[in-house]
């Protein structure tokens, strides 16, 4: 049986990372997309996820990203931050 596909757009180290871990534990094939994929290496290694660079404000890039997915996602989480969002630390 093929793993169902889960896609998370706008992955950071908070909510999206927690959802990726939860979906990974439930045997989903994960695709994680963010403007900066360098920050996703540890999460991808932990969950077995694929990572893709994607600026969610680029409509043509978003269209291309979804058209290149291997299957229709069973779960889609769209959680991007605006480019000017400041981190609360």
> What would the pLDDT profile of 16-33 be if each residue is shown by its tens digit?
999 999 999 999 999 999
Residue 85 counted as domain residue? no
Dist. CA 35–CA 20, nearest whole Å: 17
Residue 56 counted as domain residue? yes
Domain count, the chain: 1
C-alpha angle 38-24-45 in degrees, rounded to nearest 5: 35
Arithmetic mean of pLDDT, 33-47: 95
Q: Which residue is it, tokens 């779960």?
A: 75
pLDDT for the residue 8: 98
Supply the CATH number for residue 11's domain. Answer: 3.40.50.720
Residue 84 has pLDDT above 70, yes or no: no
Residue 65 counted as domain residue? yes
Residue 30 counted as domain residue? yes
Residue 42 has pLDDT above 90, yes or no: yes
């Amino acid at each position: 049986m093929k793993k169902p596909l889960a896609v998370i757009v706008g992955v950071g180290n908070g909510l999206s990372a927690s959802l990726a871990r939860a979906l990974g534990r439930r045997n989903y094939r994960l695709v994680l997309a963010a403007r900066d994929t360098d920050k996703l290496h540890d999460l991808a290694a932990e969950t077995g996820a694929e990572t893709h660079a994607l600026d969610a404000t680029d409509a043509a890039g978003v269209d291309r990203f979804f058209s290149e997915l291997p299957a229709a996602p069973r779960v889609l989480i769209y959680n991007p931050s605006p480019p000017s969002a400041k981190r609360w630390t």
